[in-house]
Chains A and B, each alone.
Chain A
Amino acid sequence: MTRRVLVVVQRFGEEVTGGSERHARVAAGRLARTHQVEVATTTALDYWTWAEHYAAGTSDVDGIRVHRFPVASGRVPDFKEFEHHILFEPHTLAEEQDWPRRQGPHAPELLEFLHREGDRYDAVLFYTYIYEPTARGLPLVPERSALISTAHDELPLRLAPYRELFHLPRAFGFLTPEERALVRRTFRNDEIPDVVVGIGLDAPPAHDADDFRRSRGLDGPLVVYLGQVSEGKGCDELLGGWARMRDRAGAPAATLVLAGTVRMDVPQRRDVVALGRVSDEDKFAALAAADALVLPSRFESLGIVLLEAWQVGTPVLVPAHNAVTAGQTRRAGGGVVYETLETELTSLLGDRDRGRALGARGRDWVERECSWATFDERLLELVDLAAARDG
């Protein structure tokens, strides 16, 4: 049965980066194969200023009707101070309720659209709990809504504007079982059904690991980090652990390759190579060439790069304090969860058979769990739950 589905997300488009936006775009595309899908979003490209980038109005993106609404106001200039005030200082309820507007994107016309046209859709899928289009939009169409919250264990999750959001939808779509556990624990909303949708993955593009090593002059064991190189992503901890391992007598010979935009000071060492942003082909070549991927970040809603490492049979190392990536790694059996990076990394680099076996298990898991068929089935179930009207 073909349903009319609306996907609401703060940003939408090919150039848009960000995990939840990428998920929204993939989901809209997959759903469009069976349902009539439209998107309601803003004109923004950048998640900090929310400045206008796309033209307002209705257009076609990859065959999907996209309604873009102007951003009346982006993030307020003093948002950092406001954030601190709300999260750590006494404040009024009215100030707290103002969080979504001050954070942006404040797009009142998008909300008017939901008020006016919401009933035309059988199901409305809202992406990312924290932004105003979802926080203020979902309460307008609760009877046909699903929330793909992409929630982390972070302070804003407990703010007043989000309380109702986790009790209103007909269904939740979670990216991981850890996100589900967090939401259930925080809101006691067990009566609302959910689907852990995960993500579907295309087969990796053609890539050449040997060529990658050759062209960059990389020999011996390689450890790879992929993504933005910043303290926020835990790269300071990674570099600290790396130095402690390598500077010990008898340490395994190895090189740490950082692939991604550099947003921090990277120490000058012969065993650390920062490549900057790399192409998709090089990303997979780097992963295939690596003995291990390390993903040190504290917050991760899904950790797609783990899945990509497993696609090419490379084991991963993730910190125990990140429930999501640790959970993914344990479920897949595709790597090591560490308390102390240097200990586990030393041991993994010293036993290549173990590394290969872990990588192979990761690959089996990804092939099973991240196939398009599995993803489609879960998404369609989510839409069915949102569109159900009979209690």
Chain B
Amino acid sequence: MAERPSALVVVQRYGDVSGGAEAHARTLVERLATHLDIEVATTTARDYWTWANAFTPGLTWINGVAVRRFPVERGRARDFRLREHRAFAAGHSLSDEIAFVDAQGPIAPDLLEHVRARGGDFDHVLFFQYLYHPTVNGLPLVPERAVLVPTAHEEPAIGLTVYRRVFHLPRAIAYNTDEERRMVQRRFRNERVPGDVVGVGVDVPSDRDAPRFRSRHRIDGPYFLYVGRIVQGKQIRELCEAFARWQDRGGTHATLVLMGQAEMSLPAHPAIRPLGRTTDEEKFDALTGCVALLQPSLLESLSIIVLEAWACERPVICDARSPVVWGMTRCAGAGVAYRDPAELAEICELLIEDARLGDRLGALGRAFVERSYTWRGVVEKYLDLFAEVRARNT
């Protein structure tokens, strides 16, 4: 039996941090750790906006995985919004783009030194997210062993010239969804880079308890749920306004529950209940009792929360303009899409009125997740991808 293959994982934040992509990275790393000698290289940042140094630099162990943290020398620049604006404007220059990537951060020179010095000791170097400085500048140091998990979606940044190399260099690309792969290949013409749709796995606890959630937060009657960062880019304001209007115009009484850190102000309305950041237990309790999960964001590459809703046998309501979320939902047959606020209201009414419809859609969602999103299947696909990379490097 051959030695266990080894992998270095490069990700901008790791451990007790918020964020879907980071949570996904951590779960995946812990699952892969049973098959590979794995080590994480990350920064000392906890929050993705300032990238302020919050953790101690150096080696630490998280759930049995060795994690090396490197200090952030420069976090997000104060003039980031200006840099972003310039880089996204038509007719912008290459130097605008380079300034944008630098201003976005996190710039951690020791992390890059580590990738250069130690990357070659690992069979694989796995980079999470195409967008940030550590990937843009670290991946070109070890292209022959790099595997990229881009978590790309249609957003202005992906059109920048500086990202082209990131999608042409790796030995392999692990896409989360088929939609993501199609979008990336259409944009970059990088079909020559072997890429598999590995997906993600979904785990939900079995001791989920909706009444526990209701009583803790004193929520009666039907409620709809949003879980995720509460930021303007995710269409939250539009969602709240549409929900409030529906309620104000005599809609069946219902509550919109928002879980997640609020990074914008929310309209004050009795039917809207922001709960802030919650525990995983509360999240799954809430998912289990909701009429439906609302996913208004247009830019998701893969919405883990949608899969979790389905795993809890609840349907999803999404925006028909979101290519990935609506694509997945249609494929699963486990939800409904709206094109405007009026349709959103109609859908909410319909699902409250016909509880069996929601249950049927939720059951389809559950079946879809069990078919395509088990961690066992995901880990197997990663291991196959890694084996292919090793075969080409020996």
B165 within 8 Å of A by Cβ?
A: yes
Interface residues of A in 259-304 (CB under 8 A from B): none
Looking at A118, A142, A187, which has the most chain B CB atoms within 10 Å of its CB? A142
A139 within 8 Å of B by Cβ?
A: yes
Decide: A93 near B112, CB < 8 A? Known: A115-B161, A142-B165, A163-B140: yes
Residue of A nearest to B191 (CB): A391
Decide: A143 near B164, CB < 8 A? Known: A93-B109, A93-B112, A390-B191: yes
B116 touches A93 (CB 8 A): yes
Decide: A191 near B169, CB < 8 A? Known: A115-B93, A160-B141, A164-B143: no
A114 to B95, CA, bound (A): 12
Which residues of chain B are near A187, meaning CB under 8 Å? Answer: 144
Which residues of chain A are near B109, meaning CB under 8 Å? Answer: 92-94
A139 to B97, CA, bound (A): 14
Which residues of chain A are near B93, meaning CB under 8 Å? Answer: 112, 115-116
B161 touches A168 (CB 8 A): no
Decide: A140 near B94, CB < 8 A? Known: A164-B165, A168-B168, A389-B189: yes
B188 touches A115 (CB 8 A): no
Interface residues of A in 178-228 (CB under 8 A from B): 187-191
Please encode chain B, from 383 to 394, with 1 for each CB lying within 8 Å of some chain A CB and 0 for all others.
000000000110
Interface residues of B in 194-209 (CB under 8 A from A): none
Which residues of chain B are near A389, meaning CB under 8 Å? Answer: 189
Residue of A nearest to B164 (CB): A142
Which residues of chain B are near A118, meaning CB under 8 Å? Answer: 161
A143 touches B95 (CB 8 A): no
Which residues of chain B are near A143, meaning CB under 8 Å? Answer: 164, 168, 188-190
Please encode chain B, from 160 to 186, with 1 for each CB lying within 8 Å of some chain A CB and 0 for all others.
011011001100000000000000000
Residue of B nearest to A139 (CB): B165
Interface residues of A in 109-156 (CB under 8 A from B): 111-112, 114-116, 118, 139-143
A191 touches B140 (CB 8 A): no
A361 within 8 Å of B by Cβ?
A: no
A167 within 8 Å of B by Cβ?
A: yes
Q: Which of B97, B116, B144 is within 8 Å of A160, CB to CB?
A: B116
A108 within 8 Å of B by Cβ?
A: yes
Q: How many residues of A contact B (CB 8 A)?
A: 29
A92 touches B113 (CB 8 A): yes
B144 touches A188 (CB 8 A): yes
Decide: A189 near B94, CB < 8 A? Known: A93-B112, A389-B189: no
Interface residues of B in 97-142 (CB under 8 A from A): 97, 109, 112-113, 116, 140-142
A187 to B140, CA, bound (A): 13
> Which interface class (under 10, 10 to 19, 20 to 34, 35 or more) fits B?
20 to 34
A189 to B164, CA, bound (A): 19
A139 touches B94 (CB 8 A): no
Decide: A164 near B392, CB < 8 A? Known: A112-B93, A143-B188, A187-B144: no
Interface residues of A in 13-47 (CB under 8 A from B): none
A193 to B93, CA, bound (A): 32
A94 to B392, CA, bound (A): 30
Q: Which of B97, B113, B188, B189 is within 8 Å of A93, CB to CB?
A: B113
A267 to B169, CA, bound (A): 52
Residue of A nearest to B166 (CB): A139
Decide: A191 near B161, CB < 8 A? Known: A163-B140, A164-B143: no
Decide: A163 near B392, CB < 8 A? Known: A94-B109, A115-B93: no
Which residues of chain A are near B143, meaning CB under 8 Å? Answer: 163-164, 167-168
B192 touches A391 (CB 8 A): yes
Residue of B nearest to A188 (CB): B144
Q: Taking the nearest CB of chain A, how far is it from the CB of B209, in angstroms?
A: 50
A112 touches B94 (CB 8 A): yes
B191 touches A190 (CB 8 A): no
B141 touches A190 (CB 8 A): no
Which residues of chain A are near B393, meaning CB under 8 Å? Answer: 188
Residue of A nearest to B143 (CB): A167
Which residues of chain A are near B142, meaning CB under 8 Å? Answer: 163
A170 to B191, CA, bound (A): 11
Looking at B94, B95, B188, which has the most chain A CB atoms within 10 Å of its CB? B94
Q: Taking the nearest CB of chain B, how far is it from the CB of A311, in angstroms?
A: 40
B164 touches A139 (CB 8 A): yes
Residue of B nearest to A108 (CB): B95
B392 touches A191 (CB 8 A): yes
Please encode chain A, from 156 to 173, with 1 for each CB lying within 8 Å of some chain B CB and 0 for all others.
000010011001101000
Q: Taking the nearest CB of chain B, how far is it from the CB of A314, in angstroms?
A: 43
Looking at B113, B165, B191, which has the most chain A CB atoms within 10 Å of its CB? B165
A191 to B97, CA, bound (A): 30
A140 touches B140 (CB 8 A): no
Which residues of chain B are near A390, meaning CB under 8 Å? Answer: 189, 191
Please encode chain A, from 79 to 108, with 1 for each CB lying within 8 Å of some chain B CB and 0 for all others.
000000000000011100000000000001
List 8 A-B pairs, minimum CB-CB distance, nearest first: A391-B191, A164-B140, A115-B94, A167-B143, A139-B165, A142-B168, A143-B189, A391-B192
What residues make up the interface of A, taking CB atoms closer than 8 Å to B?
92-94, 108, 111-112, 114-116, 118, 139-143, 160, 163-164, 167-168, 170, 187-191, 389-391
Task: List 18 A-B residue pairs with CB atoms under 8 Å apart, sorted by A's residue number.
Answer: A93-B109, A93-B112, A93-B113, A112-B95, A114-B94, A115-B93, A115-B97, A140-B94, A141-B164, A143-B188, A160-B116, A168-B168, A168-B169, A187-B144, A188-B392, A188-B393, A189-B144, A391-B192
Given contacts A112-B93, A167-B169, A168-B168, list 8 more A-B pairs with CB under 8 A.
A108-B95, A139-B164, A142-B169, A160-B140, A160-B141, A164-B165, A170-B192, A191-B392
